[in-house]
Amino acid sequence: MSIKQLKMKAIDIRCELLQMIHRAKAGHTGGSLSNTDVLTALYYRVMKLDPQNPKWDERDRFIASKGHAVESLWCILADKGFFPKEELSTFSQFGTRLIGHPNNKVPGIEMNTGALGHGLSISVGMALAAKRDHKGYRVFCLMGDGEQAEGSVWEAAMAGAHYKLDNLTAIIDRNKLQISGSTEDVMGLEPLEEKWAAFGWQVVSINGNEMAEVVAALEAAPTVKGKPTLIMANTTKGKGISFAENVAHWHHHVPSDEELALALAELAASKQALLSEKED
């Protein structure tokens, strides 16, 4: 997909996830909206995948360590054909496969995640296995910024650099908000880029809601041979919905009927504006 097509797809995914959360009366809205652009770039342009053969040995692997923000991922997997789109209507309902965190009973999900701090360790193991088995696939791991307070993240960071895993790309959805407020108030993280660099990673900082920057960073990885890449995706929580942006309350706020209508109208206007732009 072109950059313009990816931007339009990201708007569609945001519309879908908002409707899904509203219907289910449950979900993590703000973080799913902030990570949508990264996931759209990964699944529609960057990663090698085959929805008809989800266990294809040469596929790239994706681990959503930020497992609670799964809504955007469910919508993308359904749109890509990993499972029927109609199943989205069962999200968070009794007996569904589409629970509030990644569930590996669903095609396209590599690993159950949700307990923060575990995804990068899993990703390091997968990347190391690829190296030792002489496989060409890459591993991508999306983390939250609140998750950076977990000690296991830094153990995995140390291991990734030690084993020179240049087939591993970690992305931090740096929206600076977590469930109880600002990350810097809850547990100060800065200087976060310098910390990752000190652990031996090549660090790339981008606007994680600007599709051209997201694609360029993901396609350029690995940026240094023999080093894993950390993409600091500076994002906006609640991205795309003016009244939800940078509002901690929207971490798992379920939009009301009125809020949903307003949000969908804003997204429709954004898509209309995009249609009038020249192709990138």
Is 177 domain-assigned?
yes
Q: Which residues of 40-61 are buried (b: 16+ CB within 10 A; e: fewer)?
A: bbbbbbbbebebeebeeeebbb
Residues 188 and 260: their CA atoms lie apart, in Å, by 33
Question: What percent of the chain lies above the pLDDT cut of 90?
Answer: 87
Instruction: Reply yes or no on whether the pLDDT at 186 is more than 90.
Output: no
Is 239 domain-assigned?
yes
Cβ neighbour number for residue 81 with a 10 Å cutoff: 14
Q: How confident is the model at residue 280 (pLDDT cuts 50, 70, 90)?
A: low
**pLDDT tens by residue, 17-58:** 999 999 999 999 999 999 999 999 999 999 999 999 999 999
pLDDT (0 to 100) of residue 115: 82
Is 19 domain-assigned?
yes
Is 192 domain-assigned?
yes
DSSP readout, 38-56? HHHHIIIIIS---TTSTT-
Residues 144 and 249: their CA atoms lie apart, in Å, by 17
pLDDT (0 to 100) of residue 142: 98
Is 56 domain-assigned?
yes
| CATH code, domain with 137 | 3.40.50.970
Structure-token pair, residue 229:
């890449």
pLDDT (0 to 100) of residue 180: 76
**pLDDT tens by residue, 104-137:** 999 999 999 988 899 999 999 999 999 999 999 9
For residue 222, cis peptide bond before it (omega within 30 degrees of 0): yes
Structure-token pair, residue 28:
């993590």
pLDDT (0 to 100) of residue 185: 80
Is 7 domain-assigned?
yes
Closest C-alpha among 78, 139, 70 to residue 99: 70
Is 280 domain-assigned?
no
Burial (CB < 10 A; 0-12, 13-18, 19+), residue 188, is: exposed
pLDDT (0 to 100) of residue 248: 86
Is 103 domain-assigned?
yes
DSSP label at 238? T
Instruction: Reply yes or no on whether the pLDDT at 249 is more than 80.
Output: yes
Residue 265 is part of which domain span?
3-275
Long-range contacts of 216-222 (CB under 8 A, 24+ apart): 218/38, 218/41, 218/42, 218/45, 218/46, 218/140, 218/169, 219/45, 219/46, 221/138, 221/169, 222/166, 222/167, 222/169
Domain count, the chain: 1
Instruction: Reply yes or no on whether the pLDDT at 200 is more than 90.
Output: yes
